[in-house]
Amino acid sequence: MSWEKNVRKVTPYVAGEQPRGKVIKLNTNEFPYAPSPMVATKIYDLAQEELDGSSSMLRKYPDMDATKLVNAVVSVYNELYFRDDKAGSGLGFDNVFIGVGSDDVLAMAFMTFFNSGKPVLFPDITYSFYDVWADVHRIPYATQALTGDFSIDVNDYLNKENGGIVIPNPNAPTGVYEDPSMFEEIVRANPDSVVIIDEAYVDFGGESCLPLINKYDNVLVVQTFSKSRALAGLRIGAAFGNEKLIKYLKDVKFAFNSYTMNYPAIELATVSVLDTDYWKDTVARVIKTREWTKEKLRELGFEFRNSKANFIFASHKSMPAREIFEKLREKDIYVRHWNKPRIDNHLRISIGTDEEMKELISTLLTILKDENPE
């Protein structure tokens, strides 16, 4: 077929399994608790408005700037991240871009900012969508090896010519968190490149780099509502940067699709953002469960770097990860395993409810005892 020679061929991103039925699903880092009750209430209100004819949310185009949601984000995030900002600049409307999940935001950022022809730098063990986007947009890239303990070697990003940098913090799938001072050093050393800090998991114990956007004009911080706000199914992501960066990002996105967010998504995400008490409470529950799980995994002979995410990246001292993965799967417990160099003997275990994690630990105990009977 002659037309095939003109097809853009890429190796797509492979997500974790999406099993159906009664299983314990700890393989895609989803939030284990329901979103804010205000979300359910708003769903009911929107449905009622549609039924009584007072709503136009389905028959008219939505607000392309997601104004209501951006205003909520500005208000709440200024309180969360800029309270101690002595300069008083904080976050403004023009510092925020909303997209259809952080994947959409990141893909648009790759398209917008990485066009120099020079390689984009990111870690060799990291979110496996980065190289996919680079391939799709024909962007050259060079991976930088993590250290033996899965840390970032800051020197890899200080003195190398590049067309951009993207690093998650905490990193995925390792869960390793780096201090914001390291990222500031990278941003400061690369004034001719845009540095993207992907903070999908920062709410689970890390400190955000958001204040850097008012100090440097080349840093973009990306966050998601899929993790700590329990809205993975709604697809909400955000980017934060100086006004010029955000304008360029909007220009590209609106040239691609002018209506980035649908009306219900804007409304539901807005009430989620505003319910900070619920958000803080449920995130604290996940952190508490994570710390309990770490203790129990260590008792079973697992080893791992300290995680500041909603997952643990662990290997066992005697039993291969692939074998554990398969035996857990037989028991309808799903974790994530990659058949890739350097990480093929590790499992990424998402943090579920207390009950789910207790069942995981109990099942692991049985598996390990069966493998090494006394």
Measured between alpha carbons, how far is 197 from 209 in angstroms, rounded to an integer?
8
Measured between alpha carbons, how far is 35 from 98 in angstroms, rounded to an integer?
19
CATH of the domain at 76: 3.40.640.10
Instruction: List the domain range (segments joined by +) for residue 314.
Output: 19-36+277-371
Q: What integer is the mean pLDDT of 177-189?
A: 97
Residue 252 and residue 297 in one domain: no
In a domain, 3, yes or no: no
pLDDT over 70 at 25, yes or no: yes
In a domain, 325, yes or no: yes
Strand order in the sheet with 195-198: 96-99, 237-240, 219-224, 195-198, 164-168, 120-123, 141-144
Which position has the higher pLDDT, 72 or 17? 72
Residue 247 and residue 296 in one domain: no
113 in Cβ contact with 220 (< 8 Å): yes
Give the type of residue at 131: D
Confidence of residue 14 (pLDDT cuts 50, 70, 90): confident
Would you put residue 2 in left (φ > 0), alpha (ψ -120 to 50) or beta? Answer: alpha
Instruction: Give me the pLDDT at residue 7, please.
Output: 81
The gap between the terminal CA atoms of the chain, to the nearest Å, is 62
The 3-state secondary structure of 264-321 reads: HHHHHHHHHHHCHHHHHHHHHHHHHHHHHHHHHHHHCCEEECCCCCCEEEEEECCCCH
Measured between alpha carbons, how far is 51 from 44 in angstroms, rounded to an integer?
11
pLDDT over 80 at 267, yes or no: yes
* Residues 6+ away with beta carbon under 8 Å from 254: 64, 260
In sequence order, what are the beta bridge partners of 266?
A: none
Maximum average pLDDT range among 4-8, 18-22, 188-192:
188-192
* Helix-strand-coil split of the chain, %, nearest 5: 40, 15, 45
| Percent residues over pLDDT 90 in the chain | 84
Please tell me the total count of domains within the chain.
2
Of 157, 167, 99, nearest in space to 130 by CA:
167
CATH of the domain at 298: 3.90.1150.10
- 349: part of which helix (H) or strand (E)? strand 347-350
Structure tokens, 360: 């995981």
In a domain, 4, yes or no: no
Q: Which of 215, 250, 272 is the last residue of a domain?
A: 272
pLDDT over 70 at 186, yes or no: yes
State pLDDT tens for residues 34-53. Answer: 999 999 999 999 999 888 88
Residue 29 and residue 104 in one domain: no
Cβ-based burial of 343 (10 A; exposed 0-12, middle 13-18, buried ≥19) = buried
333 in Cβ contact with 21 (< 8 Å): no
Residue 260 and residue 329 in one domain: no
User: Helices 263-274 & 276-299, crossing angle to 10 degrees?
Assistant: 80
Residue 65 and residue 84 in one domain: yes
Give the type of residue at 211: P
Q: Which of 64-73, 83-92, 140-149, 208-217 has the lowest mean pLDDT?
A: 83-92
Q: What integer is the mean pLDDT of 131-140?
A: 93
User: Half-sphere exposure of residue 84, counting CA atoms within 13 Å on the CB side?
Assistant: 3
Q: What integer is the mean pLDDT of 124-146?
A: 94
Residue 224 and residue 125 in one domain: yes
Residue 27 and residue 131 in one domain: no
Q: Which of 272, 304, 322 is the last residue of a domain?
A: 272
Residue 107 and residue 245 in one domain: yes
Q: Which of 82-86, 108-112, 159-163, 175-179 has the lowest mean pLDDT?
A: 82-86
Q: Which of 95-99, 106-110, 256-260, 318-322 has the lowest mean pLDDT?
A: 256-260
In a domain, 1, yes or no: no
- Average per-residue pLDDT for the chain: 93
Residue 282 and residue 260 in one domain: no
pLDDT over 60 at 156, yes or no: yes
Which position has the higher pLDDT, 2 or 359? 359
Instruction: Give me the pLDDT at residue 85, please.
Output: 64
Confidence of residue 86 (pLDDT cuts 50, 70, 90): low
Residue 142 and residue 181 in one domain: yes
pLDDT over 70 at 367, yes or no: yes
* Residues 6+ away with beta carbon under 8 Å from 259: 61, 62, 64
In a domain, 5, yes or no: no
In a domain, 13, yes or no: no
In a domain, 7, yes or no: no
pLDDT over 80 at 211, yes or no: yes
| Cβ count near 150 (within 10 Å) | 19
Q: Which of 227, 257, 272 is the last residue of a domain?
A: 272
Measured between alpha carbons, how far is 280 from 284 in angstroms, rounded to an integer?
6
Residue 42 and residue 181 in one domain: yes
Q: What integer is the mean pLDDT of 217-243?
A: 96
- 237: part of which helix (H) or strand (E)? strand 237-240
Residue 140 and residue 207 in one domain: yes
State pLDDT tens for residues 311-361. Answer: 999 999 999 999 999 999 999 999 999 999 999 999 999 999 999 999 999
Q: What integer is the mean pLDDT of 259-270?
A: 92
pLDDT over 70 at 306, yes or no: yes
pLDDT over 60 at 101, yes or no: yes
Q: Which of 8-12, 107-111, 128-132, 307-311 has the lowest mean pLDDT?
A: 8-12
Confidence of residue 372 (pLDDT cuts 50, 70, 90): low
In a domain, 8, yes or no: no
